[in-house]
Structure 1
Amino acid sequence: MEIYFSPEIVTPHFQVLNVVNSKEQAVGNVAFLFEEKKMYVYGILEEEGVEADFKDLLTPYLKGMVKAKDGLELFSCVYVGCEKVKINGEDKQ
């Protein structure tokens, strides 16, 4: 299944992105909260079996966001189904 981000709310302090499939049905969401030098990420994807696609979509997005501010720390809690997903070795869960 192909999945994409669809922005729901984007402000300077937080973002909420829907995760949608090719039929534009919401299958999950990701929320980003910015607090000075920290970025908190919470995401959940309801569809199991697309963990690799979700990581492939989310990882470059996070890398770009982290580059936006020097010294930004990333804290994440991301799930696919009931399984926790480790995004990369740099996050502090």
Structure 2
Amino acid sequence: MMAWALDFALAAVALAAALAGWRLLRGPDHPDRVLALDTLYVDTVALVILLGLRFASDLLFEAALLIAMLGFVATVALARFIARGDVVE
């Protein structure tokens, strides 16, 4: 039962990531694309965590933590760039 639930969750999160990728490519404005990128990295973290549960690998949980930290920094940098035109004053 747990394997079926993990497979279903993997498929659902992969679909969400594909839709966020579509919005990233086809977004009408820059804020929409930044939000899609933020959603895409959250989906990626969820996929890596689900794969870590599926394969019982501790290394994948550490990779998810690194992706989450880099995604946060990237979102803040992109938001500052769009709002002010530069990242660092």
Fold agreement, TM-score > 0.5: no
Higher Cα Rg, which structure: 2
Is the helix fraction higher in 1 or 2? 2
TM-score by length of 2: 0.32
- Larger relative CO (CA 8 A, sep 6+): 1 or 2? 2
TM-score by length of 1: 0.31
